[in-house]
Amino acid sequence: MKNWKLRDIIVLSSLSVVFAVVYVLFLQVGNVLVGLMGPMGYEVIFGIWFIVSIISAYILQRPGAALLSETVAGTVELLIGNTAGPVLILSAFIQGLGAEAVFAALRYRNYSAPALMAAGAGSAVFSFAWGFIHSGFAALSPGLLLAMFIARIVSSVLLAGLLGKWIADALAKTGVLRSFPIAKTSRGQLSSKAEVS
């Protein structure tokens, strides 16, 4: 926390605030889908709830960005109308931890598309484990659980990893991120690939 610039923190918080609103909106979408197809309804769009950790980790490229942004988004969600309650902060923390673990395993150096997708999947795995305890998944049949797990992974890879990268790249193209680490990675795709390999 000490070596974070105030600018980075405020950018991270306002990203979290924006996506907290998106998260709450998608909760309603999820509720409709759940009404149609049971808990699977949430699983197909679950990835959207991890997107802020992907975007802010990619923009700031700092240890802790994924974890912090997801936790802040969870807290803000709580303030603006997610009725999951204060437990939501814990859930968000665990989801952020999943993405953070992947970025940490890559030593905070690799922010390529596969890395971002893997980070989304990391959140999915962590949040599923948490759902086991918190949402009483243990009462469901193993077949359904497996289907839910696969749906969640796929949705996280696509909705968090790929969509997150697309949004961050589109933002970088507008030029507002010129002074952030993403500018180095995102500007020329070719050079970044050469750097990674």
Partner 1 sequence: MLNVQSEKSVPVPRPRLLRLEELNPVIKGVTVVLCVLPLSLVFDPVTTSTALVMTLLVTWIFGNVSWRRWLLLFSPFLVLACGYFWTAAVFPREQPEPGSAILWSIGPVRVTAAAFQVALSLGLRTLLYSALSLLFMLTTDPVKLMLSLMQQCKLPPKLAYGILAGFRFLPLFREELSIMQRAHRVRGAGRIRRTPRSLLEALKRYGIPLLAGAIRKSERAAVAMVSRGFTGTGRRDFYDRIRVTWRDWAFMALMLAIVAFSCGFSYAMGTLRWYNGEL
- Tokens encoding 80: 């603006």
Chain positions 99 to 128 lying near partner 1, rule: CB under 8 A, are none
Does the protein bind partner 1 through residue 138 (CB under 8 A)?
yes
Dist CA 2 CA 129 (whole Å): 32
Dist CA 75 CA 69 (whole Å): 10
- Binder among 134, 183, 192, 196 for partner 1 (CB under 8 A): 134
CB closer to partner 1 out of 144 and 150? 144
Does the protein bind partner 1 through residue 176 (CB under 8 A)?
yes
CB closer to partner 1 out of 17 and 44? 17
- Binder among 48, 51, 92, 177 for partner 1 (CB under 8 A): 177
CB closer to partner 1 out of 86 and 190? 86
Contacts for 133-137: CB closer than 8 Å, 24+ residues apart = 134/87, 134/91, 135/39
Contact letters (x/-) for partner 1, 70-89, by CB under 8 A?
Answer: --x--xx-xxxx-xxxxxxx
Dist CA 48 CA 34 (whole Å): 16
- Binder among 140, 158, 162, 196 for partner 1 (CB under 8 A): 140
Residue (of 59, 82, 71, 86) closest to 169 by Cα position: 59
Dist CA 165 CA 170 (whole Å): 8
Does the protein bind partner 1 through residue 7 (CB under 8 A)?
yes
Q: How far is the CB of 197 from partner 1 (least distance, A)?
A: 29
- Binder among 105, 109, 114, 144 for partner 1 (CB under 8 A): 144
Does the protein bind partner 1 through residue 57 (CB under 8 A)?
no
Q: How far is CA 62 from CA 36, 93, 99, in A?
A: 40, 17, 13
What DSSP state is assigned to residue 156? I
- Which amino acid type is present at position 174? T
CB closer to partner 1 out of 102 and 171? 171
Burial class (CB in 10 A: 0-12, 13-18, 19+), 86: exposed
> Which residues bind to partner 1, rule: CB under 8 A?
1, 4-7, 9-18, 21, 27-28, 31, 34-35, 38-41, 68, 72, 75-76, 78-81, 83-90, 132-134, 136, 138-144, 167, 170-171, 174, 176-177
